[in-house]
A and B are shown apart, each in its own frame.
Chain A
Amino acid sequence: MSRRARIVVVLPALAGLAALLAWSFTGLPGFGSFRGPYGILLNRVATPERHMTNVVNATTYDYRSFDTMGEEFILFAAVIGIVLLLREDDRDRRAEDRVRSEMVRSGGGLTVGIGVLVGLWVVAFGFVTPGGGFQGGVAVASAVLLLFAAVGYRAWSTLGNETVLDPIEGLGAGGYVAVGLAALASGLPFLTNVLGPGIAGTLWSGGSAAFVNWSAGIEVAAAMLLLYAEFLEAHAVPVMRGAS
């Protein structure tokens, strides 16, 4: 198709899109207006009832923890799919892939430690300040990934391999269900917050939802690391083969 014909085709489509967009903008509710009675309700009851100051996590890991379990297993299944797709049999890891700059090695190594600590902190304080299992888990995984960027593939692959990560991911996914079953065992509905609400604004808040939060954190961290490991293997191993 010539350039002119393309323009002739695309211009009416663009005009239609612009008209629809403008039309939908005129129907938007006023800035700051909120039509979500469930949110207003939770904002009122979460802190007095469950002693959690971060209402977002009170919703995801307590009031709606069953939904979050579904989400967790979506991630679990997606990672399994990617691991299966990218799995390769012949691997040649003899070649060296090291970072030679001393600055990058020491500075990057320090960043790994700081990043992991920040991630764990985000998970731990999930019921006090913004954060929680998902965000903290991804942060921990990304900090560990810096090992590859700062030190090299070999240093990373001692941690970033399936033998280490598979059991950790299983622990996270299974732990979530185990907390739910603990509630069933004590005669309450699945995933009921059986432990006391604790003291609001401290680490001692959240009750059994805190364990749900940590399970999600462990699961997400391990799942992300497995993803990174599979992608890096697809990337680093062929590159190193070419270099050797």
Chain B
Amino acid sequence: MIGTLVPLQSVGFALVALGAPAIVLTRDLLRLVIVNGFYGLVLVVLFVVYGAPDVALSMLVVSTVAYPLVLLVAISRVRSHGRET
């Protein structure tokens, strides 16, 4: 069990370590929403590997659907207001 888990944990951590700077370096807001969603999925993998499937389930839906929706709506509102003025 431990023999298969340690490589998985390392891969999970590596992906998280790559994902965080990817978010910081993304400047376009729409792309940022997508990258952030993928980062959430990477965290989900990490939670599963560390034996927290309950947290992973919540994170899965919140990070890939609920939060991106709020962000998208906020971005579209700001942009449409910007066009009017």
Contact = CB atoms under 8 A, between A and B. Distances in A.
Given A131-B54, A132-B54, A239-B80, A139 B70 contact: no
Given A138-B62, A235-B76, A235-B77, A145 B69 contact: yes
A229 to B, nearest CB: 11
B76 A135 contact: no
B72 interface: yes
A112 B77 CA distance: 26
B80 A142 contact: no
Contacts of A46: none
A242 interface: yes
Contacts of B57: 122, 130-131, 135, 139
Contacts of A139: 57, 61
Contacts of A242: 80
Instruction: Report the contact-size class of chain A (Cβ under 8 Å from the partner).
Output: 20 to 34
A54 B77 CA distance: 42
A231 B70 contact: yes
Contact of B66 (A56, A122, A138, A239): A138
Given A138-B62, A142-B66, 9 more contacts: A122-B57, A145-B65, A228-B66, A228-B69, A231-B70, A232-B69, A232-B73, A235-B72, A238-B80
Interface of A: 54, 56, 122, 130-132, 134-135, 138-139, 142, 145, 224, 227-228, 231-232, 234-235, 238-239, 242
14 contacts: A130-B54, A130-B57, A131-B57, A134-B58, A135-B61, A138-B62, A142-B65, A145-B65, A232-B69, A232-B73, A235-B76, A238-B77, A239-B76, A239-B80
Interface of B: 53-54, 56-58, 61-62, 65-66, 69-70, 72-73, 76-77, 80
